[in-house]
Structures are given as structure tokens and as C-alpha cells.
Amino acid sequence: MPEARREEFMDCFYVIANELKEYAIKESVFIKNYLEDRHKVCYLHKCGGNDLNERGQYTDASSIPEDVECVIAIGGDGTLLHASRDIVGTGLPILGINMGTLGYLADIDVANVEDALDRLIADRFYIEDRMMLRGCVEKQDHSTVEDIALNDIVLSRRGKLRVVDFNIYVDETFLCSYRADGIIVSTPTGSTGYTLSAGGPIVSPDASLILLTALAPHTLASRTIVLPDHVKVTIEISAEEGHRDGKAELLFDGNALSTMGCGERVTISKTEQKTHLIKMDHKSFVTNLREKLR
């Protein structure tokens, strides 16, 4: 976790608030006023569940002014996940303000906002680089659809209440098949998210691994498979006789991207793009975990 070192202090900020949370909007106005009172520039952008643009994004990175040096995401982990995916091409660091309950990623509570802003202005913070995943879908019509995720990419059953048969390949070598509700492919950051609720291991976020977890598999024994970060994981909807009505929905950090049918594949791998999270102290992963899980 390298300490931030800059030739000049930050002067320009961009605030993203979850507009579905009224108190998040109020907090964004407070932050804007707080920063401007200290002769800083602050732009506001609101995001919520009903204002996706045509590319499925909450924030259009091209609309962020060029002088912005830091993004502040207000709402919770979901808001920060949206922001991280939308602005990843800008390379801007993100500070998460937690207005929710747990807050693994957005770990600055409202009570500590002023202190966090003061430290941000004074250049007393650290940046953690987090691994991300890219998924590319091969459709039956030979078209492709792709996106990136900070937490996880999930292939989950869709439609009728029935399981789906998934074939798993690693670097094009067949690994195994699952009859399950879905498959979760997670980063270490995402190990405390959906993967955790599915019985997966908790992994330190500074690791560089790919976690593969079956969701409600129809087997007496199932374990998360931990893979090195350089492999490509391919998940195929089985096209075998008797399983040809299987449908699955592909989600990136909880956002639906595509519906997949039998014979279609999604290939997932580590991307060179990273999320840059701003942290205010060197609190260890173990300490943070203990506090969050009580």
C-alpha cells in the first residue's frame, strides 16, 4: 500500500452520490461546501438505479472535467463498485463514503467525513491498487459482449426454477462440470461479497488470485477453486442433450450484462486495469476483518 506522493496537493474533486439515498445527496452537498470553503473545486454528479446511460453506466467518464484529481463516491459499496467500473479508464483514485451498513470498500463513515477530507486535502492518505476481471461473452451469432468487474462476475440461472449445467475450462483445458444455480468468479476484493455468502474463502485484497465458486451446486461436496491470476477461465452453458433449455444471466458486480443460452461461453481473465482505492490509514486486513465481522 504505497503512500500517496504528489508534487502538489489535490485541488479538484468529483463527487458521485447515490440519488436513491436522500441522505447521500445531502452529504454530497455538505462535502462540496466543505471543500469549496477551503478554496478547492468540487463537482457533483448524482447516480442511481434508474439513470443508466446507453452503455449501461451510471457515470460517463468523458463528462468528468479534466482538472479532477480524485473521485468521492457516497452511498456504500454498491455505489463505489459502479464508480470504479465506470471511471476505470481515467486512472483516478476513489474515496468511498459509507452511508450503508457494512462498508468493506467504502469504509469512511459519515462521522469521520470531515477528518477524511482534511487528510485528503493535506495529502495524508494511501492508495491501494485492486485487481479487476474482464469477461467476454461469445454469442451464437458470433458477436461478443464484454465488461469489467472489481468484485465478481456471476453466471446465474434465469427463468424457470431449475439448475443449469456449466462446463468449466482453465486455459482451454476442461476442469469440471457443475449442475448448479450459478458460478461466481471473484477477485480477492470480491471474496467478502457474494462469494463469502456462497461459502467461499476470505482472501486478503492485496492478493492476486481468481476464485471460482459454484452457487448452490447439486453435489454433496463442493469447494471453491483458487487459481493463479494469469489463467483464463471459460464457463460454458452445456449444450448436451437434455440440457438445451438452460438459460443463464451474466452479471458484472451485480449488473446484468447479457443472457446466455446453451453452447454459449464467457471467458474471464485478469485485466491490466485496476481500481485505485484511497485509504486513510494502514489498518491491517485482519483488523478490518475483525471489525466488520465482529
107 belongs to the catalytic site: no
CB atoms within 10 A of CB 247: 16
Q: What is the Cα–Cα distance from 109 to 252, expressed in whole angstroms?
A: 26
3-state secondary structure (DSSP) of residue 63: helix
Asked whether the beta carbons of 270 and 208 are under 8 A apart, the reply is yes
First to last CA, the chain: 24
Residue 163 burial by Cβ neighbours in a 10 Å radius (0-12, 13-18, 19+): middle
Those residues with Cβ within 8 angstroms of residue 9's Cβ, 6 or more apart along the chain or in another chain: 121, 122, 123
Asked whether the beta carbons of 183 and 208 are under 8 A apart, the reply is no
What pairs with residue 129 in β-bridges?
276
Catalytic hit among 37, 67, 77, 129? 77
Report, as residue numbers or ranges, the catalytic residues.
Answer: 77
